Amino acid sequence: MQLKDKTILLTGATGGIGEALALRLVKQGATLVITGRNADKLQRLQARILANGGRCRSVVADISLEAGISIVAQEAARVPQVNMLINNAGVSDFIEFEDQSAERIRCLMEANVTGPMLLTQRLLPQLRIQQGMIVNIGSTFGSIGYPGFAAYCASKFAMRGFSEALQRELADSPMQVLYVAPRATRTTINSSAVESMNAELGNRMDEPDWVAEQICAAIIRRTPRVYLGWPEKLFVRINALFPALVAVSISKQLPIIRKYLARQNT
């Protein structure tokens, strides 16, 4: 797929992966509608894109709220053609599940699952006309349940299931649904406790610009499912076939994970 002359609605553009992705998409000639909650960051990114000759509109909205989804959908309806929706916005929460409040669980599920699903539903008629594409940003944790991330894993497993089911539902149309799952990436979604834990466990963290490059490549090649990072992409497969093996190896990491869970909450 050529990105030139495509109009793309990108959520979470104020974040690490989103900003890097926005800059790459614009470089490839795409017109963007960018969203996020942080108005200052969003306007700075829009100004940077416009200053470099790119085409970009922005809309400040909280996609965990119905009102926010409506604001984004209304903005998208003002654009002559939206060819692609990239559901990239998301939040994480590194916490023992027992300590995670109902409010925190609800907010996370609304931002990571309900919001993207409802936004997709609102955009579908427009995307259908354009024979468009939906790109859902998942995670390695959308395939491997990991201690300290129960709600986050649940949300990303949900996005993987949503992507697969929707792709199959749209299989008799020219539309396509992609699911791209990064591994740990150096952005502010990860607390310093998570970064230190990853370092101690030897879990590699990617740079957001590299992740953005891989997302662009998946879009251009129309690759339906992409798992980023080695050996994480292998672990995803092993976990699907032999979950008990992965459970044993993760249980050995548990003392270290608990140490950083305790540090996170002090």
Contact residues: ligand NAP, CB under 6 A: 11-18, 36-38, 41, 62-64, 88-91, 111, 137, 139, 182, 184-185, 187-190
With respect to ligand NAP, which residue has the nearer C-beta, 61 or 81?
61
Give the shortest CB-201-to-ligand NAP separation in angstroms: 14
Give the type of residue at 9: L
Smallest gap from residue 87 Cβ to ligand NAP (A): 8
C-alpha to C-alpha distance for 139 and 59, rounded to whole angstroms = 25
Tokens at 132, concatenated: 């468009």
Nearer Cβ to ligand NAP (2/194): 194
CB of 254 to ligand NAP, least distance (A): 20
**Amino acid symbol at 213:** E
Q: Could you tell me if 220 and 1 are in contact, meaning their C-beta atoms sit under 8 angstroms apart?
A: yes
CA distance 71 to 65: 10
Tell me which residue has its CB nearest to ligand NAP: 15
Helix (H, G, I), strand (E, B) or coil at 226: strand
Q: Toward ligand NAP, which CB reaches closer, 14 or 163?
A: 14
Least distance (Å) from ligand NAP to the CB of residue 174? Answer: 26
In whole angstroms, how far apart are CA 21 and each of 43, 100, 190, 228, 237?
Answer: 16, 31, 18, 15, 27
Nearest CB to ligand NAP, comparing residues 37 and 233 = 37
Q: Shortest distance, CB of residue 211 to ligand NAP, whole angstroms?
A: 8
Query: Nearer to ligand NAP by C-beta: 7 or 185?
Result: 185
SS3 of 180-222: EECCCECCCCCCHHHHHHHHHHCCCCECHHHHHHHHHHHHHHC
Q: What is the dihedral of CA 27, 30, 31, 37, to 10 degrees?
A: -70
Is the CB of residue 120 less than 8 Å from the CB of residue 134? Answer: yes
Nearer of residues 132 and 138 to ligand NAP, judged by Cβ: 138
**49 touches 22 (CB < 8 A):** yes
Closest separation between CB of residue 14 and ligand NAP, Å?
4
Q: Which is nearer to ligand NAP, 62 or 75 (CB)?
A: 62
CB of 52 to ligand NAP, least distance (A): 20
